[in-house]
Structure 1
Amino acid sequence: MSEAERAARIEGYRRRYEELKHTGTTIAPTVWPAPTALNAASIAESDVITASTLPGGWYTTLLLARGQGLRLVNKDGKGAASLLAWNAKDPSERLNHADTIKVQWTTELRKGRVLFSDMGRVILSIIEDTSGHHDVLVGGSTAASIKERYGDDPSHRNTRDNLVLAAGKHGLGRADIAPVVTFFAPTVVGAHGEIGWNEAGRRPGDFVDLRAEMDLIVAVSACPHPMDPAPSYAPGDLGLIRFKAPPVSADDLCRTATQEARRGFDNLDDYLALQGA
């Protein structure tokens, strides 16, 4: 292939990408809902199933049934919640952060957006979000990145090792650890693709409500994000509230906001029908 032919092929791919992006984004709302107010969307005590605090640097796992919600709370404004999720009935299906970005044509997760699995199905919906500042590009910390940033202290835990331990509690291993989505990590993308950090995007009390669209195994790690500028290892605590989520309405924003989300829910509905759910 000549250089001219190669350039023409690349240009054709670029035009096709722009056409698909235009089609997908013009169907989406021109104005997305404003972030949830900090004092809004209270959870009735009768709807709370479990509530706990995840200490900074540690991890937890939980089983989230279809229709249940998980509220992640940035208690002191210094926390970061790195999350993975697997289909509880078939853990070979798991959160796919790349498809979550590509299918929705955005790196911006906020109220009304969804998280996709690697089977093209919606597994989690963002039904409330006070922040709108989350990371789907950088990923979680490793032993090497923590050592480089904070020094060689064996008490400094990292996201990768936390999630390996979390997966092991459900019979999963290193091969089951995919790239994470990290909530309350205010990364920003510049005009030329550079990734920066907006510390003003974190506030004490910020929360995100995720609704499970199928039965899930969920793992959450509370280690520092790799781009967190804090000079010392002092990750913040997270609040975790599992609750009965409100019933899904016919005009549910997460199901109807974009053409891609609709297809993801159609794929999910087909799967659930085969499972007899």
Structure 2
Amino acid sequence: MSEVLLSHEIPGGAAWSVLVRGGRELKLTATGDGANCSTLLFAAHHPVDRLNVPDTLKAQMSARIHAPMVLMSDRGTALCSVTGSSLDWHDALSGHSVDVAKYGPSSYSADRNAWRRSARDGFLSELRKHGRGPADLHACVNFFSKVAISGDGLLAFAPGHASAGDWVTLRAEMDVLVVLSTSPHALDPQWNPGGVLAEVRPAPEPGEDDPSWTFRDESARALRAARGVLA
């Protein structure tokens, strides 16, 4: 197993951000049942490139995120590749939570560090640390959560999709800023957020048979574009 370069445990209902260098791997592991990890991605040195969820899904003919998909930017450039996961479904349709009033009243004065905050609040708190703001919010991936179309044609949240120990790994295809929130999924009716352990490790150089490179022509094209940016 590769050396862990950085390790940080994000409690449930919190937020964190990290710069992951190109060629390194970010592993996210659920430390509690029912975890959700809403995730934003930005190219660290190319402000025009940030995660574009609609293009990522459309180009790879999917309504969910799973290995070995490539997470693409607005310009079709690969930001990260999903190199592995214990789950075959991560939601990318529902967006992040904005209003947590449905869970009942909460404030820092009453609840201290257990104060309920939405993913939006967590994202904005982290984005400000990097000179960014509301204009930088974009559609996210909700790792560890599943939302599918129900029989009546509506989006339906699948409770209990993730358990403690479930994991997903992302290979950074360039230097990326990763912003994470562990607030519950926007459609989760319960406030019982699980924590997430984030670990950064070196990643092996992908070979010609790398699953993300061979997944689809569109995936390979996005990966070639990322190498062009790095060149």
What TM-score results when the alignment is normalised by the length of structure 2?
Answer: 0.92
Is the contact made by 1:133 and 1:202 (CA closer than 8 Å) also made in structure 2? no
In structure 2, the gaps of 5 or more residues are: 108-114
The one-letter amino acid paired with 1:164 is: L
Is the contact made by 2:33 and 2:160 (CA closer than 8 Å) also made in structure 1? no
Deviations 1:160-194 (A, max 9, x none): 11111111111111101111111011111246642
User: Distance in 2 between the 1:264 and 1:192 partners?
Assistant: 36
Q: 1:70 aligns with which of 26, 29, 32?
A: 26
Deviations 1:194-216 (A, max 9, x none): 21122242222100000000001
SS in 2 for 1:86: strand
User: Distance in 1 between the 2:185 and 2:79 partners?
Assistant: 24
SS in 2 for 1:107: coil
User: Distance in 2 between the 1:246 and 1:229 partners?
Assistant: 40
Is the contact made by 1:73 and 1:206 (CA closer than 8 Å) also made in structure 2? yes
Q: 1:88 is matched with which residue? A: 44
SS in 2 for 1:240: strand
Q: 2:209 aligns with which of 251, 261, 265?
A: 251
User: Distance in 2 between the 1:115 and 1:193 partners?
Assistant: 27
Is 1:152 equivalent to 2:105 in the alignment? yes
- Which protein has the larger Cα radius of gyration, Structure 1 or Structure 2? 1
Q: 2:110 is matched with which residue? A: none
Compared CA separation, residues 61 and 200, structure 1 to 2 (3 A): closer
Q: 1:261 is matched with which residue? A: 219
In structure 1, the gaps of 5 or more residues are: 1-43
Note the C-alpha offset of 1:238: 0.6
Larger relative contact order (C-alpha < 8 A, sep ≥ 6)?
2
SS in 1 for 2:5: strand
RMSD of aligned residue pairs (Cα, Å): 1.4
Is 1:197 equivalent to 2:157 in the alignment? yes
User: Distance in 2 between the 1:99 and 1:159 partners?
Assistant: 23
Is 1:99 equivalent to 2:46 in the alignment? no
User: Distance in 2 between the 1:226 and 1:244 partners?
Assistant: 33
User: Distance in 2 between the 1:242 and 1:75 partners?
Assistant: 16
Note the C-alpha offset of 1:74: 1.0
Q: 1:10 is matched with which residue? A: none
| Structure with greater helix percent | 1
Q: 1:177 is matched with which residue? A: 137
What TM-score results when the alignment is normalised by the length of structure 1?
Answer: 0.77
The one-letter amino acid paired with 1:163 is: F
Deviations 1:135-171 (A, max 9, x none): 10111111xx311x21231221110111111111111
The one-letter amino acid paired with 1:217 is: L
The one-letter amino acid paired with 1:254 is: S
Q: 1:7 is matched with which residue? A: none
Q: 1:123 is matched with which residue? A: 79
Is the contact made by 1:92 and 1:176 (CA closer than 8 Å) also made in structure 2? no
Is the contact made by 1:64 and 1:215 (CA closer than 8 Å) also made in structure 2? yes
SS in 2 for 1:201: coil
Deviations 1:227-246 (A, max 9, x none): 1132xx22111111111112
- Range moving further from structure 2, 208-217 or 92-101: 92-101
